[in-house]
Chains A and B, each alone.
Chain A
C-alpha cells in the first residue's frame, strides 16, 4: 500500500451499497440505521407506486421505497430482498424532525470504503430524496 505521500491523509468514506435492478445505489454509512427483512410487509392503499409497503420496526413504521419505480433501473427482483433503514433529519414546517425510511435492496447490501477523491456516483442524498419524494399534501386527495 502506498502511503499518501502527496498532501496528507485522504479522507475516506464508507458507503452502503445496495442493488436494485441493474443499478447500484450508495448511501453514506452514517445514515444507515440497520438492515432488516422486508417482512412482514403491509400494503399502503392509495400511496404512490414507489411506496412498496410499510414494515414495522420496534413500534415504528418504516415506509419501504421501491427505487425501481423512481429511477430507470430495469426490472427489480425482490425475492430475497432486504430493507435498508436510514435516519433522516428533515425540516418540515420549521420544525426539525427525525424520521426513518427504508430502501428495498435486492439481497444483502455490502459496504465499501474509498477516498473522497473518487466521486461516489449514485449516492442518494437522503435529505433531498425525502423532500422530493415524501408524499405531499397535494397528493391524491380523495
Chain B
C-alpha cells in the first residue's frame, strides 16, 4: 500500500513538474528579450522554488538540489547581485535540460542519476566564477559568451544532445494526466445528481407499477376463479347424459345444448383469456423484478461514477498545509518566536471546494497559534519548555468527515482571563463563573478578545467568529481543546466532499427537512415532559443542553402529544443542542444546492435538496437555529442590562457605524437589525416589530428626517422610540429632528455611556407600557 501511495505521489509530482518546467523553459528563453524581465525572473524563481520543494517531497534529491541552485541563481538575478548574461541563460538552460533528463528517467521508472549532480555543480561553479569576473566589464559579455558550447567544454553540448530540449521530449512525463477545469467536474457531478434523482424516481415508479401489476394479477385470479366456479355450476346443472334418457327432453335439449355450448365456449374463452392475462402478468412482474434489479445496478454504477468523479476533484490536504510553511516562518520571525512546524496526514483527500475554503480559517488559527499561542523563547525556557515552539498540523479521515487539527504547545487559553474579559465586556456576571466548556465558546463571539494589545493581524475577536462562520458555511464545525500552560488544539471537522452529502431526513408538521449527518452527534428519543422543568433545556447524558422544538419555532404549538419524540443532537462549536422533531424519516446521500438567492437571508436554511420523488427539502442549519444559545446568551446576562430579546433597528449608510453599534448592542443581548437607508428600514419594519430605532440623518434613497416622519405618522409604528445618531452637531439639526418626532439625539462619535443611558431611559418606559 505504501508503495502505491508513493507512486501516486510521484505521478502528482510529474504532472506538477511538467508545469514548472514549461514555465522555466519558456521563461528562460525569453529572459533576455522580455520587456519586464524582473517580473519574469520572479516567476522563474517561483517555479524553480516550487519545483525544488516538490522534488524534495518525493525524495528526488538530485532534482531538488539542481532546482535549488537554479533558484539561487535566479534569486541573485532578481536581487541584482548578478547581471544577466548569455552565459547565465545558457547555464540555466543547461540546468533545466538536466532536470528534464532526470525527470524523464523518473517517469520511465528509473531512479535519479546522482552523478549528474556533481557534473552540474561543477559546471555551475565554473561558469559562475567566470561570470563574476565578467560582471566588472559587462560590454565584453555578448562576444565572449556567444559560443558557450565551446567555452564550457565538450561535455555540455553532448549532454544536451543526449537529453534534447525539444517539446515532444517532455510530454511523456506528464504521464496519464489531463487537466480538467474544476467547474467541469462540478457540472458532471451536478448531472450525476440529477441522474440520481431520476433514478430514485424510476425506482419508486417501478415499485408502484409492480404493485399495480400485482393487483391486476390478483384480480385476474379472482376472475379465473369466478369463471371456473360458474362453468362448474353450469356443467353440474346439465349433466352429459340428459339427452339420452328422454327423447322429448332432448328436443329442448338441442336448444339448451346450443346455449350450453355457447355459454361453455364463452366461459372457456374467458378462462383462456384470463389465463393469458395471468401469464402475461407473470412475465410482466418478472420483468419488473429484473428491471428493479437493473435500476439498482445502475444505481450502484452511478454511485461508483459519482465517487470516481468526486475523487477527481479531491486534493491532498498536504498541499494546503504546504501553503502555511512560509507564512509561519515569517510570522515567527515577526513575533520573535521560534517555531517548528510538523505536518501529518497530508495525503488525506479533500474536496477542492472545501480545500479552497479552508485556507482562510486555517490561516487564522495558525496565525493565532504563532502570535498568541507560542511563547517567546525566553519565556518558554523559563517554563522549562523547549525553546522552539511546536505547531502541529494534522488531518485524518473519519468516515465522510475530514478532521483537521492545529495544535500548538504554547501557553493555552487562560480561562481566568477569558472570564475577566467576559465580565468587562458585560457578557458575564462576576458572581457566577461558568465551567470551562461554557467559557471557551466566548472566543467565537464577535468583538470578544483576550489580547489587550490586539495587533491588526491577529486580534482574536472578530477573527474567531469569522472562522466559525467560514467553517459552518462548508457544513463544518470548530472545536477547541486547551490546557493553560500546555497549548491549544483547534479541531475543524468538515465533510470530505460538498457535492454529495450524507443527510438525515426528518419531518415536523408534515414538512420534510434534512440536516447533514456530519453535524449530528446522535438521535435520541426523549420524554419531553422532563423538558417542562426548565423550558428550552433537555437532559442529554446527564447534562442539560439547549433544545428547541422545530414546530414551535415555526409558530405552531401543540398540546400534550409530544411525549417521546425524536431529538436530533447537533454539534455546534463545542456545544451540543437538541432539535425536537416529529419524526425521523431516514438517511440518504444527496446533493445540497445553495439556497435560491431570493431566499438567501433565511439563515436557518443552508441550502435545498430535492428528494427522489421530487419533493423540495430545506437543509436546516443548526448553527443558526441555536445562534442565541451558542452566543454567551447561554450564560445569564448582567442584571442591569437584561435586554434579552429586545429588538433594535439601526439605520445608517455606514457599514462600520452599523457594525460598531451592533456589536455594542449585541453584547447587551439585543437583537439587532440594520438597514442602510430609510426605505430599507421601512421595509424591514413591515416585517419586524422593533423596540427602538437608531437612525442617521444623511442617507441615500431616504434620509433620516423622512424616515422619522413616516414612522411617526404611521399608526403602527409611531410608538417606537427613535434615536438620532448623527455627526451633525448643529443645534438646528437637533431641533429639526426632535420636531419631526425623534425621541433623542446623539452626536457621533458617541460614548458608550450615553447610549447606555438612552437605552435605559427609553426601553424601561417601553417596558412599563
Contacts and interface: CB of A to CB of B under 8 A. Distances in A.
Interface in A57-105: 59-63, 90, 92, 97, 99-101
A142 B627 contact: yes
B673 to A, nearest CB: 5
Interface residues of B, number: 36
B532 interface: no
A139 B680 CA distance: 12
A140 B593 contact: no
A79 B601 CA distance: 29
A43 interface: yes
A33 interface: no
A101 B154 CA distance: 74
B610 A101 contact: no
A56 interface: yes
A1 interface: no
A136 B598 CA distance: 8
B600 interface: yes
Interface string A130-142: 1011111111111
A59 B596 CA distance: 12
Contacts of A137: 600-601, 603
B625 interface: yes
Interface in B500-538: 509, 511
Contacts of B627: 141-142
A62 B675 contact: no
Interface string B354-376: 00000000000000000000000
B610 A135 contact: no
B602 A141 contact: no
Interface stretch (B22-30, B106-114, B613-621): B613-621
Contact of B599 (A51, A60, A142): A51
Contacts of A135: 598-602
A40 B598 contact: no
Given A43-B511, A44-B599, A45-B511, A138 B674 contact: yes
Given A130-B598, A139-B601, A141-B627, A61 B553 contact: no
A132 B683 contact: yes
A48 interface: yes
A40 B615 contact: yes
A42 interface: yes
B614 A40 contact: yes
A141 B599 contact: no
A63 B610 contact: no
A134 B597 contact: yes
Contacts of B553: 45-46, 142
A92 B601 CA distance: 12
Contact of A138 (B593, B598, B610, B675): B675
B197 to A, nearest CB: 8
A10 interface: no
Contacts of B194: 59
B244 interface: no
Nearest to B609: A61
Interface of B: 190, 193-194, 197, 509, 511, 553-554, 593, 596-604, 608, 610, 614-616, 618, 624-625, 627-628, 671, 673-675, 683-684, 687-688
Given A48-B687, A101-B596, A101-B598, 6 more contacts: A44-B599, A46-B553, A62-B596, A92-B600, A138-B675, A142-B628
